């Protein structure tokens, strides 16, 4: 649906302590966490699902900002209009506004 780059970029360091044709045993370079990877079959579709995600372009910041601003304003509008009519709608509007502003 939406592809956003949020937060700082990071680099992951993984030391391979053992590697053969079937498995790779690694350890996190900074954390020391151990990982065991098993090789998938070449025709394994689930193993290749990440490639479609890598091809997606991130959403431009102004577009993401306009979508979130619209959600905030819609939530505030619902909250102020509902203040006259229904407490449940007011809470819903404030909830939408609060969640979209995060």
pLDDT digits (tens, 9 = 90+) for 58-100: 777 777 778 788 887 877 777 676 655 666 666 666 676 676 6
Average pLDDT, the chain: 77
Q: What integer is the mean pLDDT of 3-12?
A: 72
Q: What percent of the chain has pLDDT over 90?
A: 12
**CA distance between the termini of the chain:** 18
Question: Which residues pair with residue 14 across a beta bridge?
Answer: 28
Question: With b meaning 16 or more CB within 10 Å and e meaning fewer, what string describes 66-76?
Answer: eeeeeebeebb
Average pLDDT value for residue range 40-54: 82
24 — pLDDT class (breaks 50, 70, 90): very high
């Amino acid at each position: 649906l939406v592809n956003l780059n949020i937060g700082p970029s990071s680099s992951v360091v993984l030391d391979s302590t053992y590697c053969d044709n079937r498995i790779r045993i690694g350890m996190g370079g900074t954390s020391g966490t151990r990982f065991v990877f098993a090789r998938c079959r070449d025709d394994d579709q689930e193993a290749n699902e990440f490639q479609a995600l890598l091809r997606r372009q991130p959403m431009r910041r102004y577009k993401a900002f306009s979508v979130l601003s619209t959600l905030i304003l819609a939530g505030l509008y619902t909250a102020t209009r509902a203040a006259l009519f229904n407490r449940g709608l007011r809470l819903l509007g404030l909830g939408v506004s609060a969640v979209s502003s995060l």
